[in-house]
Amino acid sequence: MLIVMRMGATDEQVRGVLARLKEFDLDGHLSPGKERVVIGAVGVIGDPDIRHQMGRMSGVEEVIAISRPYKLTGREFQKEETIIDVGGVRIGGGTMVVMAGPCSIESEEHMVTTAKAVAASGAQILRGGAFKPRTSPYAFRGLGEEGLQHLATAREETGLPVITEVMEARDVDLVARYADILQIGTRNMQNFMLLDEVGLARKPVMLKRGLSATIDEWLLAAEYIMAKGNRDVILCERGIRTFETATRNTLDLSAIPVVKRLSHLPIVSDPAHGTGHWYLVEPMARASMAVGADGLMVEVHPNPDHALSDGPQSLTLENFDSLMKSLERVGEAVGHPLAAQPQMAAVGD
Ligand code: PEP
Ligand code: MN
């Protein structure tokens, strides 16, 4: 249910609506639009008369029932696109950010070398996994907190914000101490306890689409995070499971404009996990930019043949550099340029 306040409604009237919602055990989420305040009421609306009662309150223009299952993530609740500022990098709002780095953090030297190279090529955000969800329990599962420390060193050396995955509700505080953005991996898209926990964290969250999740299920997972009060949610299309085996997954490019129509949240494309092959990363990255992605996530490794995870889909430092040059040209052609690097980025050495 959305409660649209009159133009010029007073703070007191807004507070009155929020207090009344509380009496019905509903949470009121404010969307202070350009012209008028909209209040999203979430919770179980048991009594259908609530809508009429809210409609009679002072300062209320109208009450709208939302038919979609997700509320706060939808365009009805917020018309303007969400723009998230992460350490001076703006995600959303018509430009594209590039998050780049190794699949797994392997050592300090490995992380810092990769970080300096991708920063020099123009990346705006560093990625690197310390807690790795692996299909086989015998595969490399990451360096844990030591890896997070290397990521923090790479941030200091480059001035770029960092994103890394958190796999467990009990690790959220630890990972949030190091990360600028918390990543929820595809296998955890419906780990509802984890979603609740990152919803309480004071860091932006990037939610990857589940391996077999529909767009509705994905937006409902984002709703869990927003319902706990965290508005800074980024979605990430990373390929879904289909019958096709020539690629690791099928990167669902159409999901990008579909999500943009349904939701105000920024959406990032991950052509590395989406295809599984390094030579498909550039064409699918270019296509993602053309269909309006707000960001890209790319895996980069100084020596992909020796990577401890996801080598076959990782770009070399040189290939990443040429990808960035080609994205500049696509950005100009489609009117969707790359975002600026943060001002303090140290890209010269
Ligand atoms: C990753 O980005 O490192 C990762 C494990 O991705 P996904 O959850 O999409 O498989
Ligand atoms: Mn990976």
Q: What is the pLDDT of residue 46?
A: 76
- Domain span(s) for CATH 3.20.20.70 in the chain: 84-345
Residues 203-242: tens digit of each pLDDT:
999 999 999 999 999 999 999 999 999 999 999 999 999 9
The alpha carbon of 273 and the centre of ligand 1 are apart by a number of angstroms equal to: 7
The alpha carbon of 271 and the centre of ligand 1 are apart by a number of angstroms equal to: 11
Which ligand is closest to the CA of 134, given by its number?
1
Helices (H), 207-310: 215-227, 255-262, 271-275, 278-290
The alpha carbon of 300 and the centre of ligand 2 are apart by a number of angstroms equal to: 10
CATH number of 84-345: 3.20.20.70, 3.60.15.10, 2.40.480.10, 2.60.40.3710? 3.20.20.70
Give the pLDDT band (50/70/90) at residue 44: confident
Counting from 1 in the atom list of ligand 1, the atom nearest the Cα of 185 is: 8
Instruction: Tell me how far the alpha carbon of residue 150 is from its chain's centroid.
Output: 22
The alpha carbon of 41 and the centre of ligand 1 are apart by a number of angstroms equal to: 33
Residues 175-199: tens digit of each pLDDT:
999 999 999 999 999 999 999 999 9
Give the pLDDT band (50/70/90) at residue 348: low
The alpha carbon of 184 and the centre of ligand 1 are apart by a number of angstroms equal to: 8
Q: Which residues surround ligand 2, an ion (CB under 5 A)?
A: 103, 310
Cβ–ligand 1 contact at 133 (below 6 Å): yes
Query: Does residue 67 register a pLDDT over 60?
Result: yes
Atom 10 of ligand 1, residue of closest alpha carbon: 186
The bridge status of strand 181-184 relative to strand 60-64 is unpaired
Q: What is the pLDDT of residue 100?
A: 98
Query: Does residue 349 register a pLDDT over 60?
Result: no
Residues 128-175: tens digit of each pLDDT:
999 999 999 999 999 999 999 999 999 999 999 999 999 999 999 999
Query: Does residue 345 register a pLDDT over 80?
Result: no
Residues 31-40: tens digit of each pLDDT:
988 888 999 9
Which ligand is closest to the CA of 251, given by its number?
1
Cβ–ligand 1 contact at 186 (below 6 Å): yes
Ligand 1 pocket test, pick from 141, 166, 167, 186 with the greatest ligand atom count within 8 Å of Cβ, gives 186
Q: What is the pLDDT of residue 32?
A: 82
Q: What is the pLDDT of residue 244?
A: 97
Cβ–ligand 1 contact at 276 (below 6 Å): no
CATH number of 2-64: 3.40.50.970, 3.30.70.1140, 3.40.190.10, 3.20.20.70? 3.30.70.1140
Residues 245-297: tens digit of each pLDDT:
999 999 999 999 999 999 999 999 999 999 999 999 999 999 999 999 999 99
Query: Does residue 127 register a pLDDT over 70?
Result: yes
Counting from 1 in the atom list of ligand 1, the atom nearest the Cα of 273 is: 9
Ligand 1 pocket test, pick from 111, 127, 132, 165 with the greatest ligand atom count within 8 Å of Cβ, gives 165
| CA distances for 228 relative to 42, 70, 72, 223, angstroms | 11, 14, 11, 9
Across 87-101, average pLDDT: 97
Cβ–ligand 1 contact at 185 (below 6 Å): yes
Q: With b meaning 16 or more CB within 10 Å and e meaning fewer, what string describes 156-192? A: ebbbbbbbbbbbebebbebbbebbbbbbbbbebbebe
Cβ–ligand 1 contact at 273 (below 6 Å): yes
Atom 8 of ligand 1, residue of closest alpha carbon: 185
Q: What percent of the chain has pLDDT over 90?
A: 93
Give the pLDDT band (50/70/90) at residue 45: confident
Atom 6 of ligand 1, residue of closest alpha carbon: 185
- Domain span(s) for CATH 3.30.70.1140 in the chain: 2-64
Q: What is the pLDDT of residue 347?
A: 64
Counting from 1 in the atom list of ligand 1, the atom nearest the Cα of 270 is: 9
Structure tokens at 290: 């053309």
Counting from 1 in the atom list of ligand 1, the atom nearest the Cα of 236 is: 9
Cβ–ligand 1 contact at 209 (below 6 Å): no
Non-local (6+) Cβ contacts of 3 within 8 A are 17, 28, 38, 39, 41, 54, 60, 63
Ligand 1 pocket test, pick from 103, 125, 300, 314 with the greatest ligand atom count within 8 Å of Cβ, gives 103
From the list 116, 104, 115, 230, the residue with the least C-alpha distance to 172 is 230
